[in-house]
């Protein structure tokens, strides 16, 4: 199964993509994680991305698409995937379609996760991330057992610079301005599945599964 997960920052895209990839054995391709890794490794791309990301702005389409094309070509050809954080613009969606057509791996569905703005702001401003293993926590909804430390690897949890309230508002606005057109793009193609993601992680996962089930004959669903 080849999926795109759409949704504003804080809607739980990364978490749900992680669950889908584990339970359905899909390759999880997150452009945000790829870019944060480039920043950490101080590569030329990372240096270019850092300032743009900390302002919550989008990187140029050409740069993102070159990175994604390379990543898709490195995946196992017959394994399904889940794209998280891409596409973010119509230009990216069109180019992605071309890349996947060339690879003969077209998308099956686009899952659109939705939640109200106040829910998103509360989730994002409380989010903490492990720099070593990328595990996600929330200071209220999902705190680590030892405050400030990762349960999995003991890494020192931090708040992403783009998870501060003012930047969050800016990111939500950018999402609305630049990304909302994508819903129509995929709706017209009959690929869009809209899921309310205000509940718990597992609850949203069950909703995603139930929306895919009647459309896709997959034994692990």
Q: Which is nearer to ligand AMP, 40 or 215 (CB)?
A: 40
Which DSSP letter does residue 178 get? I
- H/E stretch holding 187 reads helix 180-188
Residue 207 near ligand AMP by CB under 6 A? no
Residue 46 near ligand AMP by CB under 6 A? no
Q: Which is nearer to ligand AMP, 172 or 195 (CB)?
A: 172
DSSP 162-182: GGSHHHHHHHHHHIIIIIHHH
Q: Angle at which helices 61-74 and 44-54 pack, to 10 degrees?
A: 120
Site string for ligand AMP, 158-187 (x = CB under 6 A): ----x--------x----------------
Residue 121 near ligand AMP by CB under 6 A? no
Binding footprint of ligand AMP, residue count (CB under 6 A)? 17
Residue number closest to ligand AMP, CB atom = 32
Q: Please select the residue that binds ligand AMP; options are 2, 15, 28, 32, rule is CB under 6 A.
A: 32
Note whether 157 and 130 are within 8 A (CB).
yes
Q: How far apart are CA 143 and CA 81, in angstroms?
A: 29
Q: Taking the CA of residue 31 as centre, how many other CA atoms within 13 Å lie in the half-sphere pointing to its CB?
A: 25
* Part in contact with ligand AMP (CB under 6 A); list of ranges 50-58, 94-102, 112-120, 134-142: 50-58
Identify whether 160 is a catalytic site residue. yes
CA terminus-to-terminus distance, the chain: 11
Residue 180's SS3 state is helix
Give Cα 169 to chain centroid, integer Å. Answer: 18
Q: Which is nearer to ligand AMP, 59 or 149 (CB)?
A: 59
Residue 96 near ligand AMP by CB under 6 A? no
Residues lying near ligand AMP in the complex (CB under 6 A):
9, 31-32, 35, 52-53, 56-59, 64, 85-86, 88, 92, 162, 171
């Amino acid at each position: 199964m080849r999926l795109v997960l759409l949704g504003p920052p804080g809607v739980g895209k990364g978490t749900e993509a992680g669950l889908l990839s584990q339970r359905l054995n899909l390759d999880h391709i997150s452009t945000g994680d790829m870019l944060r890794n480039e920043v950490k490794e101080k590569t030329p791309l990372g240096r270019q991305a850092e300032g743009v990301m900390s302002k919550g702005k989008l990187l140029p389409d050409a740069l993102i698409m070159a990175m994604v094309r390379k990543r898709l070509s490195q995946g196992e050809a017959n394994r399904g995937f889940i794209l998280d954080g891409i596409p973010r613009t119509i230009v990216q969606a069109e180019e992605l379609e071309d890349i996947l057509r060339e690879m003969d791996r077209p998308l099956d569905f686009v899952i659109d996760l939705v939640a109200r703005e106040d829910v998103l702001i509360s989730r994002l401003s409380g989010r903490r991330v492990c720099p070593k293993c990328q595990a996600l926590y929330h200071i209220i909804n999902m705190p680590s057992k030892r405050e400030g430390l990762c349960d999995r690897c003991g890494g020192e949890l931090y708040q992403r610079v783009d998870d501060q309230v003012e930047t969050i508002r800016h990111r939500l606005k950018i999402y609305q301005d630049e990304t909302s057109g994508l819903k129509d793009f995929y709706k017209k193609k009959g690929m869009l599945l809209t899921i309310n993601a205000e509940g718990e992680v597992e609850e949203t996962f069950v909703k995603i599964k139930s929306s895919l089930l009647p459309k896709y004959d997959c034994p692990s669903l």
